[in-house]
Structures are given as structure tokens and as C-alpha cells.
Amino acid sequence: MSIRRMNVFALALLSAVAAAQQSTSEKYTPALDVTAMDRTADPCVDFFQYACGGWIKNNPIPPDQSSWSLYGKMQDENRTRLREILEAAAVPILTATP
């Protein structure tokens, strides 16, 4: 195979892979969540309150936790989802008997 044909083939293959990745990728989530910001706080005085104040206000510490963060919330949600998946998998499949 000539080098030119190999280049054309490689370019076509890369284009197909890139198109497949774009079509199967999930919804884009931005790295900066502006809804978690507290724009009433002065960033020059308390940057943490400015950057995270909205999230802290909307996600109070649960009574059974000593601290709470985005990662703690995500861990609890993942445990709940995993439990639901495992409980659904534990239910025996009912098959029709002749």
C-alpha cells in the first residue's frame, strides 16, 4: 500500500473515531459551576465564600454527617445507586414454566 493511501486511510479512521466519540459522549458539564458561587460575597475579602457559598447554602450538612462536600454527596449518591442495582440483580428472574 502506498504511503498516500495509508495516510488517507489513517485520516478516515481517525475521523470516524472522533465522530463516534462525539456522538456517544454524555452531556458536557462545565468545570466551573457558577450556580455554586455566592455573588453577594466580596471575593477580595472571602474568596472561599464567594466561590462556594451558593453550594454550601443549597447543601447543608446532613445530621448524620460530621462534614459535607461535593465528594461526600457524590459518594452517598453512588452508594444508593449501587444498592438499587444490586437489589434489582438479586431479584430472581421469573420464567414461564411449560
Q: Which of 12-16, 22-26, 50-54 has the highest mean pLDDT?
A: 50-54
- Residue 18: pLDDT over 80: no
Structural contact between residues 65 and 72, judged by C-beta atoms closer than 8 angstroms: yes
What number is the average pLDDT over the span 20-36?
66
Contacts of 36 (CB under 8 A, 6+ apart): 51, 52, 54, 55, 58
What number is the average pLDDT over the span 79-93?
88
CB-based burial of residue 69 (10 Å sphere; 0-12 exposed, 13-18 middle, 19+ buried)?
Answer: middle
90 alpha carbon, distance to own chain's centre: 27
* Residue found under cell 475579602: 45
* Residue found under cell 498516500: 4
Between the CA of residue 80 and those of 3, 36, 37, what are the distances in Å? 54, 24, 27
Predicted TM-score (pTM) of the model is 0.49
